[in-house]
Amino acid sequence: MKKIITLAIIALTIAGNAMALELNEYKVFYKLNNEKTFKSLSRYLDVTDEQADQLKYVFVLTEKKLKNALNAENEVAAEKAMYFNLGNAKYILSEDQYKKYLTAINLSVYVNNSEYYAENDVK
């Protein structure tokens, strides 16, 4: 009986943290607009000046869309903003650059999630 209650509590905790976790994942896209982050990402992706300008514009629009979505707590709109970013980045970047971009985004999400778990002592 104790095991069932413990499992129920764990399930409720995970479900409660799932929404915060998902919103935490979208916050990675805010960091792309940071000047230092953008320069590092541009160097890592080895983008041209034209690609950098296009990416910067996409990142600004993504940040606006995400702010509106997160302020309204609209997960569907936040997801659309994420897909907007990924779709435009795929169009702007070469195939190899886009793979590197996805790797950078996924690593950032992983690091943010690790920090989130450490801060909230979630195991």
What is the pTM (predicted TM-score) of this model?
Answer: 0.71
pLDDT band at 120 (very low <50, low <70, confident <90, very high): low
Into how many domains does the chain fold? 1
Residues contacting residue 68 through CB under 8 Å, at least 6 positions apart = 74, 77
DSSP the chain: -HHHHHHHHHHHHHHHHHHHHHHHHHTHHHHTTSHHHHHHHHHHHT--HHHHHHHHHHHHHHHHHHHHHHHTT-HHHHHHHHHHHHHHHHHHS-HHHHHHHHHHHHHHHHHHHHHHHHHHT--
The confidence score (pLDDT) of residue 64 equals 93
Range of the domain at 8: 2-120
- pLDDT for 9 equals 47
